[in-house]
Amino acid sequence: MEASDGLGKAFALKVIKNHPEFIGCLDREMRRLAELETIRSDSLVEIYAVEPKYRCIRMELLLGCSLRELLPLGGGRRIFSPLKLVHIGLEVAEALSQIHALGVNHRGIKPENIFLARKEGRQRAVLLDFGVASRSDGPITSLGGTAVYSPPEEDHRRQGRTAQQSNDLYALGKVLFEMLSGKVPGAGVHNIEQYQTPYPAIRDLAWQMFYDDRKKRYFESNAVAEKLRELASSTLPGQLPTILDEALSIVRRLAEQILNVDEKGDVHSRALLTNIKLDDNQQAELGPRTDDWLDNPNEVDDVFDLGQTLYALVVGGLPHDGESYSDFALSRNLRLMTQFLNTIETMCAEPAFRPSMSAVVDRLYTLQRFFAEGKNRT
């Protein structure tokens, strides 16, 4: 619920239902939040006040959406840039490192509790809901967790056991794998290669987090965060040719789809990244129109959105106000080729200077051939 104080400052209000089970969740959440009040992290929601008398918590108002809203529940998978995926995982892992250091386990890691908040031109992953959190040095007194994100040894019906860091990491591994493949693997997976996913380094890290054999899993959130930093800073930048090729293939296919629709007299605008997913054959397809589409869509809007999409698929985000495409890429340890940057800048120029959709398709074909020849020469 959104509300505001007497000075007009907006905040979110979490109100607990008048039921013993929910009131117990509020009591636990208040205790855990009191223990975490010393932490200042962009990946934890800021708490303004806890009001036991009114069974509510006043907290920072976040604008954006939960990760669950970006993950399709049916077939196919939403397209995530590998760098965006890794950065989301890293922000959650860093938040877990901080709460684990204080002896608190979240016990509710899942896409619904990871919020992708937008503020001042950037996005951050924020960990929500400590209603079933517990201390590492005390017995669990409440049922919690979601079965598909919980380790096989976890018995949801049994209380009195001790929560462990590795359970949070197990759940985060499942979330990372779901972002990568569109599927949540069940228990008993012995050969992760049966899942056809891009970027094996991300896949293998996720699997190490949710091994059935708990002795082989990651036990320290700091170690997971460090591995994700390594992926973001060196491993994935080293795979830039592969990332570029996949991104160009996806956006070229989308441009061709829009071009075909436009030829029938029905401009598809807008082709935003959140409207795109891969079908079961790993082919990119445009999603359904949404209520926030333009009243008078036109081709140059689609060209702009596809330029933004192409850049975001490669770099994992978009520049902040006043920041160039080149500088933002360098902040992610990516040195983009001049030909690619020129294409992005042309597609995202002022409307009068943007190319037609057919010219975009031709340009993307040319870029793919250019990059393919470069890989062959190396």
Q: Round to whole Å and give the CA distance between 109 and 105.
A: 10
- Whether 25 and 140 map to the same domain: the answer is no
* CATH number of 366's domain: 1.10.510.10
- Whether 47 and 140 map to the same domain: the answer is no
Of 297, 327, 277, 223, the C-alpha closest to 73 is 277
- Whether 219 and 291 map to the same domain: the answer is no
- Whether 245 and 213 map to the same domain: the answer is no
| 3-state secondary structure (DSSP) of residue 117 | strand
Q: Round to whole Å and give the CA distance between 188 and 192.
A: 10
- Whether 99 and 213 map to the same domain: the answer is yes
Please say whether the beta carbons of 303 and 351 come within 8 A: no
For residue range 265-303, what is the model confidence (pLDDT) as tens digits? 555 555 555 556 666 565 676 665 554 544 555 778 888
- Whether 171 and 115 map to the same domain: the answer is yes
259-251-65 Cα angle (round to 5): 110
Give the position of tokens 């200042």: 40
Which among 209, 235, 261 is the end of a domain?
235
Please say whether the beta carbons of 120 and 320 come within 8 A: yes
Residue 158 has pLDDT above 70, yes or no: no
Which among 213, 235, 257 is the end of a domain?
235
Please say whether the beta carbons of 115 and 128 come within 8 A: yes
- Whether 98 and 169 map to the same domain: the answer is yes
Token pair listed for 43: 């990946």
Q: How many domains does the chain have?
A: 3
- Whether 69 and 204 map to the same domain: the answer is yes
- Whether the pTM exceeds 0.85: the reply is no
For residue range 64-102, what is the model confidence (pLDDT) as tens digits? 888 988 876 555 566 788 999 999 999 999 999 988 888
- Whether 73 and 187 map to the same domain: the answer is yes
Q: Round to whole Å and give the CA distance between 53 and 30.
A: 12
Range of the domain at 278: 238-377
Amino acid at residue number 198: P
